[in-house]
Structure 1
Amino acid sequence: MNDFSVCLTTLWTFLSTFQLCCDNNLHQIHSIGAGLRNVGNTCFLNSVLQCLTYTPPLVNYMMTLEHSTTCVESGFCMMRIIQNHIDEVFINAGGAIVPTGVLRELNTIAEHFCFGNQEDAHEFLRYTVNAMQNSCSSAVQLDSDKPETSSIHQIFGGCLRSRVNCLNCNATSDSFEPFLDITLDIEGVSSVSKALERFVTPEELGGENAYRCSNCNNMVTATKCLSVHQESNVLTIALKRFHYDGTKITRKVKYPENLDLRPFMSESEGEPLGYKLYAVLVHQGRKSYVGHYYCYVKASDSKWYHMDDEKVSISDIETVLKQEAYVLFYIKSTDERTGSEGSSSLWGVSMRMHGAAPSSNQHVWKTNNRRELERQESQAAEETALINTPIKSDPTVSQGR
């Protein structure tokens, strides 16, 4: 195969993966999956995994087995771990499992994570998504040095623009930074919309923070303004509920089911840019290192479910919108003008493999009876070992329940 053919093959793989990762209709409908057992302060991990498990474009990509068939990593691979976890959740629908694959690699995901300690759910989410993105660099990419080309960035990633305006000569300078989530300051605000307005409000740079303008070559007063330059397919919003000393902002901050991101874009004029809420992660408690995490997710049957470790129960949007949310998960709407789901839900039942490479159609996202039996036996042994693992005592950490 010549260099041109290799280039075309690589380009085809990238474009087909890009199209699939931006497809927000699930290609297969599932009943609500399994609950996740808490084996000692693991509610932070359970709630994050449940939110990821019900992220349609991520599940679409995992269903094709595209990564596992191209991955050359012989050791730790977060993408394969999450793929196996999603597989287990739906195979064991109606029951409860221990997420052994993730727990086993907790210290690999982040060196400071320790089994038995209550960790911050948003921090764990960030490390997990980053680990998945790093795993993608071992697969076929247009440019493995640029994380923006990875399948994970295509799902979760966008781009922020920082514009500095010199008030002396009126010159502007733009810089751009990719993001996988957005963190909002909620001090003194009553809603996510107000927090987003603050996020894009210009701040003045002066005094000790004066700006050196490259145009007039002076230390000057300037304004700096952030905006969303390229929207993400999945918009993850974390609310800054914790201070550095661990104390928590406990006020409820209103958040909508349908969010229009257009006013906060670099191009703020134009058609609405609608997003639909599909998961909410909640922290219950008054300190960052104590309390309990749980979440609400919207499943493929278009119903909301309360996921509280191994407990899975039906819920509704009215209950979801009343929570003391910590992390919000939105997905770009199929009808961007209204923020609604249009004629098909986010978890549509279409079985078309949009943009999947030809080899993807040869895979079926389920295991045969023999493989499933072997996996269940192995999982049972690992669960027993984890449950029997002594948890390090720490007087500053309470049970995450």
Structure 2
Amino acid sequence: MTYLTVGKRLLWKMERLHRCISMTKVERWLGNKLRHCCKKEMEKTNMHHPGLTGLQNLSNTCYMNAVLQCLSSLPPFMELFLSGKGSTALQKGNDEFATVFGHLMSEMRLGKRDMISPEAFHSVFVRRHPSFCTSTQHDAQEFLICVLDELHKDFKESSQRRNKTGAEARGNVSDTSIITDLFEGQLSYNITCLRCKTTTARPESFTVLSLPIPSRTKCSLQDCLKCFFRQDTLTQNNQIYCSWCGTNQDATVKAIVTTTPEIIIFHLKRFAWQDWGRKKLSTTVCYPLSNLDLSPYSNMSSSSNAQYSLRAVVNHAGRLDYGHYTALCKHSDHWHRFDDTEVTRIPDSSVQTDTAYLLFYTCQGH
């Protein structure tokens, strides 16, 4: 009986061990299967939600990362690089900036990796703009203007090389590019002499419209636009020279939009001189996510090209001399927050912030 009991116990232990080994194999198989499914699901997610790629901070380059994320979320702009139009528009020459920028935009848009480094682009950029090579914080709006200007020059020069012979023969070398076609609008400043009542128009192009903030507490984007486009009276030291009167005269000046761009960028002037120095305005500026109407500030008979939808926001949190930039961008009908390498989906209700600094709108009529 004793030997039989010992034998049964041994058999029971062997069977239990066998079951454990079998379960380990099953668990291993299930684990591999689960990882495979998760990997497939992540690939599927990236495929259906392109553009959700974080950017490494290269030491206080959050200003750069935020602007790059916003530019990569603009469909008309990204089409240049994803469709090959940008590559076609460039030819061999001094187009290094546009080429490196296009590679970065394409890599960000494909979304094959959670995070990439913009080091190659940054190195080319600071060679052309050495003031940005320091590790101190820089202004996002100044960086944006420099990027658009460099892209414009590369695409314009390439276009001029292609059309050099014919253009020189006609004496007509264009100063436009596919960048100005997208981002550039036209203003007209109508100046009226208060003595002779003569009105003259002075045209001015813009790629970023800098708007004053008329309140220290809360206002709307429309309030900022009304403040920018209101009629002003110029007197005393601000008098305008009137060619008809032959002297400086008091005058009124009022700006209107004569050409609306496909992509319009608003810069909220949060950094302003107040009292004894330059300070940051913490005013909450309310802005619409869609149906922004610019027709009240335009002389166009049709307002079909004056309706805009918000695509991206650059936020600045912190003080004037120290802060952090982040971006809110719309991809595949969903909003996401980009904080350097971190990408988080957010609801539409979180797009309105009290730290908005740059607003990117695209025309609904295009």
TM class by shorter-chain length? 0.7 to 0.9
Is the 1:200–1:226 Cα contact (8 Å) retained in structure 2?
Answer: yes
Amino acid at match of 1:279: A
Q: 2:254 aligns with which of 220, 225, 248?
A: 225
Residue 191 of structure 2 corresponds to residue 164 of structure 1: yes
1:230-249 superposed Cα distances (whole Å, 9 cap, x missing partner): 10110100000113555211
For residues 254 and 207 of structure 1, what CA distance do their matches in structure 2 show? 36
Amino acid at match of 2:335: W
Q: 1:173 aligns with which of 200, 204, 221?
A: 200
Post-superposition shift, 1:82?
A: 1.8
Tell me the equivalent position of 2:288: 256
Q: 2:64 aligns with which of 24, 36, 45?
A: 45
For residues 112 and 354 of structure 2, what CA distance do their matches in structure 1 show? 26
Is the 2:305–2:365 Cα contact (8 Å) retained in structure 1?
Answer: no
- 1:243 partner SS: strand
What RMSD in Å do the two structures reach over aligned CA positions?
2.3
Is the 2:95–2:158 Cα contact (8 Å) retained in structure 1?
Answer: no
Is the 1:33–1:93 Cα contact (8 Å) retained in structure 2?
Answer: no
Rg larger for: 2
With CA pairs under 8 Å and 6+ residues apart, which has the higher RCO, 1 or 2? 1
Residue 111 of structure 2 corresponds to residue 84 of structure 1: no
CA 160–179 in structure 1, closer or farther in 2 if over 3 Å, else same: same
1:91-141 superposed Cα distances (whole Å, 9 cap, x missing partner): 344510111222112323422111422111111011111111111122225
Decide which structure has greater helix share. Answer: 2
Moved over 6 A (4+): none
Q: 2:326 aligns with which of 284, 294, 300?
A: 294
Report percent identity of matched pairs. Answer: 29
Residue 312 of structure 2 corresponds to residue 279 of structure 1: yes
For residues 178 and 302 of structure 2, what CA distance do their matches in structure 1 show? 29
CA 269–168 in structure 1, closer or farther in 2 if over 3 Å, else same: farther
Where structure 2 has 5 or more consecutive residues not aligned to the other structure, the ranges are 1-46
For residues 261 and 269 of structure 2, what CA distance do their matches in structure 1 show? 20
Mean Cα deviation higher: 130-139 or 45-54: 130-139
CA 271–297 in structure 1, closer or farther in 2 if over 3 Å, else same: closer
CA 178–116 in structure 1, closer or farther in 2 if over 3 Å, else same: same
Is the 2:58–2:119 Cα contact (8 Å) retained in structure 1?
Answer: no
Residue 91 of structure 2 corresponds to residue 72 of structure 1: yes
Tell me the equivalent position of 1:34: 53
- 1:168 partner SS: coil
Tell me the equivalent position of 1:9: none
Decide which structure has greater strand share. Answer: 2
Amino acid at match of 1:151: I
User: How many aligned positions are there?
Assistant: 305
Is the 2:234–2:240 Cα contact (8 Å) retained in structure 1?
Answer: yes
Is the 1:30–1:90 Cα contact (8 Å) retained in structure 2?
Answer: no
For residues 297 and 67 of structure 1, what CA distance do their matches in structure 2 show? 22
Post-superposition shift, 1:270?
A: 5.5
